[in-house]
Amino acid sequence: MASIRRRGDRWQARVIRKGFEPEAKTFTSKQDAEKWARAIEREMDTGGYVSRSLAEATTLGEVLSRYRQEVTPLKRGAEVEAIRLTAMERHRIAKRSLATLTASTVAEYRDERLLSVSGATVLRELQILSAVLNHARREWCFPIANVVADIRRPSPSRGRSRTLDVDEENKLLAHLGSGGRGEDGTYVKGTRNPWVSSVVQLALETAMRRGELLALRWEHIDLTKRTAFLPMTKNGQSRTVPLSTTAVAVLTALPHSIDGSVFPITANALKLSFVRACVSSGIANLHFHDLRHCATSRLAERLPNVIELAMVTGHSDLKMLARYYHAKPEALALKLA
């Protein structure tokens, strides 16, 4: 039999059964305390009892923080995921206990985020939240359900087709210069980061992803054979990227850092410098990943064999490769002629 006792202006219900951990909870009314105690006893009698104490005492923010510290560092996209998790920890949904986290709560979070960011961004955030809840349930033994599975997820955004024309490329590279004073003494606006221009040039020549470029190490670069070896890529496989004459020239001109990295900068530093250069050069709606689209389209003109093209770009799915190839109708018309 459960015990109900008054503690100040509240009522505490306590259930003690052999074979179970003691359960206690405080309510504002005696009636609520009695209802809770009867429900717990009924679950213990029928074998469907699961202790909710841990889930009630732990907030979503605490679980997000633990996941960011223990699980995220083991992933290849750790830096980006850590940023997203930190942002979620600051949202008011993180103050919810795991026991009170419901599908409707997550749906409210989804709808609120859709007012300020794209559907693709919200979709990635929900995927991360789903992974966190599954990990907490399976590995940390929290008695919770994955409520993300019960809500509608935003539709994936249409694939981008933005590419960079020659004039825009020249403007961008000009604004990615080191800046400072020109020969005539006038100030030349540019980025303060000396690595970004080379990263952009190499991206346009090789179609490598941002993470692949920043992970490059000199020990994997062979300028004689004109290759760059990538031990780990997005799809979990290694690949060797052939280097064009321009790519070799860019790498040859780079100084060697002490730690062996070809580009000793962070993803966030690259992003900030790239965005500033786009703004100052008047180039709108350009993302760094769009350079991969542009490079793939340019490589396709020199490598008409799609198998060879996929080996260079690292696409394991030819359908995905087709999303990155943006042929100009006038160029196709010339080929037909």
Phi, psi of 175 (to 5 degrees): -80, -10
328 is known as an active-site residue: no
Check 96, 234, 271, 287 and give the catalytic one. 234
Verdict on whether the full-model pTM lies above 0.75: no
For residue 210, give the nearest of 164, 301, 274 by alpha carbon: 274
Q: In the annotation, is 234 catalytic?
A: yes
Measure the CA–CA gap between 276 and 272, rounded to whole angstroms: 6
Catalytic-labelled residue, pool 30, 160, 220, 325: 325
Q: Where are the domains of the chain?
A: 3-49, 57-150, 166-336
As given in the structure block, the two tokens for residue 159 are 């694939």
Q: Indicate the CATH number of 166-336 among 3.10.20.740, 1.10.443.10, 3.40.50.450, 3.20.20.370.
A: 1.10.443.10
pLDDT of residue 324: 67
57-150 and 166-336 share one fold = no
Ordered mean pLDDT values, 10 residues apiece, the chain (337 residues): 80 76 79 79 67 79 95 85 93 91 93 90 94 93 88 79 83 73 48 83 91 92 92 80 92 90 90 88 89 87 80 76 66 61
- One DSSP character per residue, 73-91 reads GGSTTHHHHHHHHHHHHHS
The answer to whether 315 is a known catalytic residue is: yes
- Amino acid letter for position 300: A
CATH of domain 57-150: 1.10.150
What are the helix (H) ranges across the chain?
Answer: 30-46, 53-57, 60-70, 78-90, 103-114, 119-138, 166-175, 196-206, 210-214, 245-252, 267-280, 290-302, 306-313, 318-324, 329-336
Crossing angle of helices 290-302 and 196-206, rounded to 10°:
40
Count H helices, E strands: the chain? 15, 8
Given this model, what pLDDT does residue 326 score? 64
Closest CA to 216 of 279, 284, 270, 147: 270
Q: Find how far residue 324's CA is from the centre of its chain.
A: 20
Q: Which of 171, 292, 315, 324 is catalytic?
A: 315
Catalytic-labelled residue, pool 171, 209, 239, 276? 209
Return the DSSP state at 261: B
Contact 179, 190 (CB under 8 A): yes
